[in-house]
């Protein structure tokens, strides 16, 4: 499973994709009727229809799709807020974080010392084993 920051980045990428897909759907499936009355002081807005074969959704279907798209966006934002809230360090002061880092560094030094001791012990055991094998080989000859 991915770490929280990777999950958060994935969610943000998905949110951006959902925004794009929602805007594309809304711009391509709306009816061409204007929602505002014409303004005599402005030139007419050019049509953006690039596909003459595309039919707009019925008002009921379009409204249902809008609700579904909005619901999906809200759910993704809630997921992002949850992941952001679970990130470590948001509720801790800088001093406590520095103290914790110091504790972890000390623990890391101790574990590294244990690792070095284990490596030395392994090398000593390997040398003794080679010595024993060498003696057994000389006895047989």
CA-wise closest residue to 78 among 20, 22, 18, 27:
18
Residue 50's pLDDT is 56
Output the pLDDT for position 30.
78
Report pLDDT for 35.
56
DSSP helix/strand/coil, 36: coil
Residue with tokens 């991915």: 2
Contacts of 80-83 with C-beta under 8 Å, sequence gap 24+, read 80/8, 80/11, 80/12, 80/15, 83/4, 83/7, 83/8, 83/11
In tens digits, the chain (141 residues) has pLDDT values of 468 889 999 999 999 999 999 998 888 887 765 555 667 776 665 555 555 556 778 888 888 999 999 999 999 999 999 998 888 776 778 888 899 999 999 999 999 999 999 999 999 999 999 999 888 877 776
Model confidence, pTM: 0.53
DSSP alpha helix (H) spans, the chain: 4-29, 59-85, 94-140
pLDDT the model gives residue 128: 94
Distance of CA 37 to the CA centre of its chain: 44
C-alpha dist (Å) from residue 61 to 22, 52, 57, 64:
14, 20, 6, 5
User: Which residue from 81, 65, 115 is spatially nearest to 12, judged by alpha carbons?
Assistant: 81
Residue 54, pLDDT score: 65
Output the pLDDT for position 85. Answer: 85
């Amino acid at each position: 499973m991915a770490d929280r920051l990777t999950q958060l980045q994935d969610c943000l990428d998905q949110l951006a994709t959902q925004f794009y897909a929602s805007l594309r759907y809304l711009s391509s499936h709306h009816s061409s009727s204007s929602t505002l009355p014409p303004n005599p002081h402005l030139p007419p807005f050019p049509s953006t229809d690039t596909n003459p074969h595309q039919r707009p959704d019925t008002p009921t279907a379009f409204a249902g799709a809008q609700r579904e798209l909005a619901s999906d966006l809200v759910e993704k934002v809630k997921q992002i807020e949850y992941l952001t809230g679970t990130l470590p360090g948001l509720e801790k002061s800088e001093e406590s974080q520095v103290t914790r880092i110091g504790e972890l560094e000390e623990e890391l030094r101790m574990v590294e010392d244990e690792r070095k001791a284990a490596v030395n012990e392994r090398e000593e055991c390997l040398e003794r084993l080679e010595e024993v094998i060498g003696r057994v080989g000389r006895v047989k000859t």
